[in-house]
Structures are given as structure tokens and as C-alpha cells.
Structure 1
Amino acid sequence: MQLSGREVSCVRGGRKVFSRLSFDAASGEALAVIGPNGSGKTSLLRLIAGVLAPAGGSIVLEGGESELTLPEQSHYLGHHDALKPALSVSENLIFWRDFLGGAKSSPAESLAVVELDHAARLPAAYLSAGQRRRLSIARLLTVQRPVWLLDEPTNALDTAGQKLFATLMGDHLAHGGLIVAATHAPLGVPTRTLRIGEAS
């Protein structure tokens, strides 16, 4: 499986964010997207996820499920944790499992892996920032997709949480998944680097 971008350009609000950007990431690889604030790291992830349309160029996934689009084979973990505060921790995972479909794992097992099983019945509104991030990570485990798009994924995680997530990322890569992460901090797994320059 190979994710490739060729001559990709991004324009937002009439402003060119970046242009003619090319990159590759293959199964088992993590690509760290680095650059200063405003250089387009988050925009690139959103282009890959299908949330934004490129102003030019192409992004394709080869070797994945031929009947599914790239967004249907991707998880996007953004700055903000996509949680419903009135639902319990477990209900949030069940919602995402049913909404996203595809290959699934037990929400209870996913919560145990991220060490949130003790809070399964707690409303998500009561979670700390680090716990909210752990719940978002549990979504990556509950609905299995080969491409993980991670935007500053270790934000709000303590040292133990960062080590746990590094282990989970390593497992994902070892099973043929790939990761593209916009980050200012080391991911804890071997990475290739894609540098995005200053926005213009």
C-alpha cells in the first residue's frame, strides 16, 4: 500500500498555503510533517482526509481496498477530540463504530488498551484533556483503518500516555498500516520527514 501526493497545492480563504508539494508514505511507514505554525501541516492532513479539496495536484492510495475511497480508509485525529459530551465514554465509541463501519473491534477492549475502561460509564464531558485524547485514540482501535492521519497526536498526553500511544502506533505500522502525522514533537516511532516551509 502506498500513499502518494503529487504537485499538491492548497488554497484557503484565497490565500496560497503551499504549492507543488509531493510526498510518499508506504505500508509500515510513518511520515512526520513538520514546519512552522501556519505552514499548512493541518491543511495537508485535511486534504488527505478529503475534508478539503486540493487546488492542484493529486493524492492517491494504491494497494488499498479498491472499492473504498482514501477517506473511507483513513482515520483523522484532529486538534479537537470529536466527542459527544452527553454520551458516556463507551457510548461515544459505540457511536463511532456504528457510524464509520468497516472492520471493528470491541469498544470495551479498546478502552482497556488505552486504560480508560474504569471510566466506560462516565459522561465524556467529565474527562480530562488527556483522557479525552485517550478516548479519541480508542476510536482508532475500535474501527480499523489502514491510514492514520494524526494532528499533534501527543497533545495533552502525559509521559505514560505518550509511551502507550507510541506502542500503539508501532503495532499499527507492524501490521502494515501507515501514519502521516503533523507534529512538533517526536512520535516515539521511526519516521521519515516531510518539511513544509513558511506559508506564503
Structure 2
Amino acid sequence: MELRVDNLTIARGGVPVLAGVHFVLPAGRALVLRGPNGAGKTTLLRTLAGLQPALSGQISGAGERIAYAAHADGLKAMLSVTENLQFWAEIFGTRETDAALDAYALRPLAERMAGTLSAGQKRRLGLARLLVTGRPVWVLDEPTVSLDTAAVAQFAAALQTHLAAGGSAVIATHIDLGFKAATLDIASFRAASTLLAGASDEAFL
């Protein structure tokens, strides 16, 4: 099932930032969002994930099909690496965590408390959560932040496996992930900065 965005207008702090956004993302494909800082990439991703409403337009093929990973890693500091993955597997109604541990080389850290991990290790664990959701559409905001070269390669491999299995992904990133993906320059959808009376959302970029 494809993810479709039609004539979408979104706002930040009541001010429209993007208007007329449209794209179709088929199963098995990735879409990379491009644009300068503050252009609205995070706001668009949050809207796709259902965390804030659009001002107008339509999104189809999202809802419960979306797994969202933002700047926060979503970890429980007092749970181990394995327990964190098990927690999220239960939340999403899945049981398999072995593939997630292996994909990000987390087995040597399996019994470590998440709160004691380095920034890069936390990021790897946060991304590993995607693999236990069972959800086909990944919406990712700068997923490679804090990752070293080896971990970026792990992420790229996990993403390619996800796509090969029929999943899809929308990714805001400034780096080259090492494989071909469609790109969308959101600067072309920049809206006139007109304050809408009564409109509200959170102040995210």
C-alpha cells in the first residue's frame, strides 16, 4: 500500500510553513526530504506521523502503519537494552527482538542499562526499536545523528532490508546513505508566512 500526500498545508506556531505538498511513496521505496534548517521538514514528518494536524489536504496510507523516530530516542533509562526492545515489542504486539539486536550490533550491550549508554549507542537502540514495531512505513527525522561511520552503515543496511521486504520510509537527512532514493526538496512548497487566527501547533522545525 502506498503512502499518498495530496495538497497538504502545515503550520508551525500558527504560521503556515509548507503549502501544496504532494507526493506518492510506493511500497519498497524511500523518500529523502531536502531543505534548509527551519524549512519545515520536522513539521512535515510530525504531521505524517499523526502528531499534529494539517491545516488542509489529505494523507492516506499512514495512521497505524507509521513508525516514527525523532531526535529523542524513546528509551527507558532504567531498563536494559533487551528490556527496552521487549517493552516496545509488547507495545506494538510483536515478540521478535533478536533481529533488532543483531542489526545494530547490540548483543554485547544487551544487559546494559539504557541510561549508561553513550549517545551513539542510545541512537542505535532507538533505531533498533523500528525493527520491533512491525510497521511498514518508517518516518525518520535525522536518524543518523550521533552515529559513527559503522553505525550509519548498520542503519543503511537495516533500511534496505526493510525496503526489500516491502516497507517504505520518509527520511529527513543531510547525509548520503549510500543507495539511491527519491528526493523531495520541500523549499519548493514554502508557504507565505501568514498567521492564521485560531490555528495552533507546537513550535517544531
Is TM more than 0.5 here?
yes
Aligned counterpart in structure 2 of residue 195 of structure 1, from 181, 185, 200: 185
SS of residue paired to 2:9: strand
For 1:163, the aligned partner's letter is: A
Partner of residue 67, structure 1: none
Asked if the contact 2:28/2:167 (under 8 Å) is kept, the reply is yes
Aligned counterpart in structure 2 of residue 94 of structure 1, from 72, 86, 100: 86
Partner of residue 166, structure 2: 176
SS of residue paired to 2:101: helix
Write the mapping of 1:99-110 to structure 2, written as runs, cut at 5 A.
99-101=91-93, 104-110=94-100
1:133 aligned to 2:107?
no
For 1:81, the aligned partner's letter is: D
Partner of residue 68, structure 2: 76
Aligned counterpart in structure 1 of residue 149 of structure 2, from 134, 142, 159: 159
1:121 aligned to 2:121?
no
Identical aligned residues as a percent: 45
SS of residue paired to 1:168: helix
Q: How many residues align?
A: 190
Partner of residue 199, structure 2: none
> Could you tell me how far apart the structure 2 residues matched to 1:71 and 1:95 are?
21
Q: Post-superposition shift, 1:111?
A: 1.1
Q: Post-superposition shift, 1:105?
A: 4.8
Partner of residue 102, structure 2: 112
Write the mapping of 1:57-72 to structure 2, written as runs, cut at 5 A.
57-61=57-61, 70-72=62-64
Ranked by relative contact order (alpha carbons within 8 Å, sequence separation 6 or more), the top structure is 2
Q: 1:11-61: CA deviations, max 9, x gaps?
A: 121111111111111111110011011111011111111111100000101
**Once superposed, what is the RMSD of the aligned Cα atoms?**
1.4
Partner of residue 150, structure 1: 140
Q: 1:159-190: CA deviations, max 9, x gaps?
A: 11111111111111111111100111122221
For 1:146, the aligned partner's letter is: P
For 1:23, the aligned partner's letter is: F
TM-score normalised by the chain length of structure 1: 0.90
Partner of residue 47, structure 1: 47
Residue segments in structure 2 that go unaligned for 5+ positions in a row: 194-205
> Could you tell me how far apart the structure 1 residues matched to 2:139 and 2:164 are?
17
List structure 1 segments (4+ residues) > 6 angstroms apart after TM superposition.
none
> Could you tell me how far apart the structure 1 residues matched to 2:31 and 2:69 are?
15
Q: 1:41-94: CA deviations, max 9, x gaps?
A: 011111111111100000101xxxxxxxx2311110101111111111111111
Residue segments in structure 1 that go unaligned for 5+ positions in a row: 62-69
